[in-house]
A and B are shown apart, each in its own frame.
Chain A
Amino acid sequence: MSTITNNNNGEVKPLTKKDFTSDQVVRWCPGCGDYSILAQTQKLLPELGIPKENVVFVSGIGCASRFPYYMNTYGLHTIHGRAPSFASGVKISNPDLSVWLITGDGDALSIGGNHLIHILRRNIDVNILLFNNRVYGLTKGQYSPTSLPGHVTKSSPMGSIEQALNPISLALAAEATFVARSVDTHAKHLGEILKRAAEHKGTSFVEILQNCVIFNDKTWEDVTDKKTKENNALLLEHGKPMIFGAEKNKGIRLNGLKPEVVELGGDISESDLLVHDEKCSDPTYAYLLSRITYPEYPCPMGVFRSVEKPTYEDQLVGQVKTAIEKKGEGDLNQLYNSSDTWTVS
């Protein structure tokens, strides 16, 4: 746990989860997956050693986007889909801040799809948490861009006829430098992933499989439920072969460019399996992983990609520094006179 200097009397006082909890009553539905994500985030922040006045939570519109109101930090509840732009402005304005972006599948992938890909490609150091419940909650249950084809909702009574978007594939196509997936209720795993996201320098993108108890209950049950997850989910661990299953007897092998599920034993051993490499600089590998989807395959959980690249704000600050070194601090007289002048006497 980090320690923060108390400003009033110089005493050293550790921050706790409580310090990051605002006085506002949380208004999500009872049983909503968002509670668990909020709790994990509030638990994590004191561990990061960042003074809470340096933390900013930014969100768009939707159930998830009420999140900043519940954090006792600085925060912006913005407009639908546009949160990445606000977060970018905050971070560029003051790169010392720890900026978090809370969004949902409608906010980030439908109305805000454009902004999402651009913040990712710029690699601005913002931690993006995308709560994916595959449905519109706040507008009462329409299908979302991640809803599966055939999904029956009020606006798709005969089933959705749209292809679902894969958030991880999208982030990787934008060459995001940190891409991960976790689950609302897997507290320990979520805590670890959020910590990794916070520590990553550059944009971190975390898809959190989240349950909407009202409009899309149990949407992720097959891959998240205790009873089924070991067979239906694959835990990604850097440098380790991809093994899953209650008996740890199944794995992923690459056949050309096609992954295949194999059973260990007989003539197939661990050395035949794909070994996870989250540091692979070419996003093609991580993209291939992102196409491993349930039910054909187990659903991968964990860090798909974590690579270092210069951040936007560091480069910008660098350019400001270079400009000052080259030209000196801006001088108005010099600037005004930088064009042809003439004197009237």
Chain B
Amino acid sequence: MSTTKEIDALTIRFAGDSGDGMQLTGAQFTNASAIFGNDISTLPDFPAEIRAPAGTLAGVSGFQVNFSSEDIYTPGDSPEVLVAMNPAALKANLSDVPRGGTIIVNKDAFSKNNLKKAGYENNPLEDDSLLAYQVHTLALTSLNRKALEDITSLSTKEKDRCQNFFALGLTFWAYDRPMEPTLKWVKEKFKKLPDVVAANERSLQAGYYYGENTETFQIRYRVKSASSEPGVYRKVTGNEAIALGMATVAKLSQKPIFYGSYPITPASDILHNLSPLKHFNIRTFQAEDEIAAVGAAIGAAFGGSLAATGTSGPGICLKSEAIGLAAVYELPLVVINVQRGGPSTGSPTKPEQSDLLQAMFGRNGESPVAILSPQSPADCFDTIIEAFRWAVRIMGPVFVLSDGFLANSSEPWKIPNPQDFLPIEVKHAKAEEGKDFLPYKRDPETLSRPWAIPGTPGMEHRLGGLSKEPGTGNVSYAADHQQKMTDDRAEKVARLTEIIPPLQVHGESKGKLLILGWGASYGAIRSATEKAQKEGKSVSYTHLRYLNPFPKDLEEICANFEQVLVPELNMGQLTLLLRGKYKNNFVSYGKVQGQPFKIEELYDKICELT
């Protein structure tokens, strides 16, 4: 008989070949955990290659889930449980598993050939190399085939495709997860293929009962549901949250949304999530290239749509000239960069925050843009709505810097009431009797220019990329005109500080060390700081959502600390911007290793500095 043990949190990683369905398995485990009421955070980690040669290290795909009875902010530093579907998956992931961790392996996959492909000289299941771990080997492939024996309409190959569900079922039993959400999903997903439904159900249940009936696991673990704020929740990834946010923008503004994009990892899911939302008056345009995607978005903005373009770093390179044009046209445009490892093609599926300076300066001439960055997958929802509010206010480009981790990672999202949002007020200028229309006459408060759209009588005007006379917008290279227009465009962005809320400092407002991060590092920074605070260390953190302009109170807050540690997934880009503006003692902590920050490494850094 097994015993059940209560624990607060657990991190489990599913790893297998790209074709083994590990992303799906992980997602189902996450769903079940979320519906059960745990707080969750996930980290999908997959190669850029769709199907690298089976069995090789290059083809290993992983999905990590951290689930907890308490609030969690990261997908977990390292997996306490590793499910490895083949030797390559074991080899690629073993170093992340702490000593004493649990490893579940499919021993059927440890054939001579697979071992060779993974680069093993000896079978690690038969030597002493795994002595430090709790290893559960099971003949998963044959057990699964046996369970599906009487389903004669499916080939062996087809049956083997269900073996990830056998593994899933086993983990469901071991960690006391409900099977119902997955059974429901299977029915829905394969509704036209009753045999496939039957096979997947059978595999899942066979795995579950295998756990129950065998003595494989002496201890069964249970993570209680988390005591989150009351409400209705769902799970969202960052890319889903952006699409949900844009649908919300369509409603709040009562304007059509235009999204121009060219497929690129890891931003494409935004396009996929928006394309079915045509009934929200969202028009998506899959352009012939990155330049056309932004060009069409700017054209749509001129035509009166709320327009956005989404891409990743290499796409921003191509869009740069057009983004400069939008800055000079002074038309609202939201530019989403789901950052990935660079430079050049870089690491398409791995996160980095190394495009901050590109967003800030990556155009010719003086070309200021506003920049926002979400701190978690669900926060992408609020960030994209705010980005559109800003774009309408400044009549210019606003960057949203997401990244590959936020894009694919998921967390619970408390479903908001749409009634609670303030409308997005969009004003289109109309002709006034006896007055000439001045396309570049600025609002004295915001310095933005009027937005008159084609179809409006008496407001015909031309916009161009050439230097302009203030007011009329007529082509002019006059010295004072160029200076004035440059100053006004910069000041317009700078004045956003008027609507930026005060920064929240978590912890003491004065002390030895302040952690100042941005974007997706939030979770690890928060967890590491809280851990250090509990141990009495003089450390606080504040998180930057607004990267251009910086909040007004940033300098003063930093001045209250002896040192300001700036962790970022680049080699010090935010630090450079901060040092260019303020005199505080900034310490850069950068890394580019294709993975988000771990709590432990940040904690160690805090200890070093306090």
Contacts and interface: CB of A to CB of B under 8 A. Distances in A.
Interface of A: 7-8, 22, 24, 51-58, 68-69, 71-79, 82-94, 96-97, 114-115, 118, 316, 319-320, 323-324, 326-330, 332-333, 335-337, 339-345
Between B234, B235, B258, the greatest number of chain A beta carbons within 10 A of the residue's beta carbon is seen for: B234
B462 A68 contact: yes
Size range of the chain B interface in the assembly: 35 or more
B456 A93 contact: no
A63 to B, nearest CB: 14
A56 B302 CA distance: 10
Interface secondary structure of B, over-half rule: mixed
Given A53-B458, A343-B233, A332 B299 contact: no
A14 to B, nearest CB: 16
B296 A88 contact: yes
Interface in B306-329: 307, 321-322, 325, 329
A342 B35 contact: yes
B230 interface: yes
Contacts of B228: 344
Contacts of B300: 89-90, 92-93
Given A79-B321, A96-B455, A324-B279, A339 B235 contact: yes
B460 A93 contact: no
A323 B276 CA distance: 8
Contacts, number: 218
21 contacts: A7-B457, A69-B475, A75-B462, A84-B292, A85-B295, A86-B295, A89-B296, A89-B301, A89-B303, A90-B299, A92-B285, A93-B283, A94-B454, A115-B291, A320-B279, A320-B281, A323-B278, A324-B278, A324-B279, A335-B247, A342-B36
A90 to B, nearest CB: 4
Given A339-B234, A341-B415, 10 more contacts: A54-B455, A85-B295, A86-B295, A86-B302, A90-B300, A94-B454, A324-B278, A330-B251, A332-B251, A336-B416
Contact of B302 (A53, A90, A118, A329): A90
B42 to A, nearest CB: 14
Contacts of B233: 341-344
A333 B299 CA distance: 31
A78 B323 CA distance: 11
B279 A97 contact: no
A342 B279 CA distance: 26
Contact of B234 (A24, A320, A341): A341
B126 interface: no
B244 interface: yes
Contact of A77 (B181, B277, B303, B465): B465
A329 B281 CA distance: 8
B521 interface: no
B299 A53 contact: no
Contacts of A51: 457
B474 A24 contact: yes
Given A53-B460, A92-B283, A342-B37, A76 B230 contact: no
Contacts of A340: 31, 34-35, 181, 234-235
A109 to B, nearest CB: 15
Contacts of B455: 53-54, 94, 96-97
Contacts of B258: 89, 92-93
Contacts of B181: 340
A28 to B, nearest CB: 14
B464 A335 contact: no
A93 B301 CA distance: 8
Contacts of A7: 457-458
Given A340-B181, A341-B233, A69 B462 contact: yes
A337 B415 contact: yes
Nearest to B260: A89
B282 to A, nearest CB: 8
A69 to B, nearest CB: 5
Contacts of B232: 337, 341-343
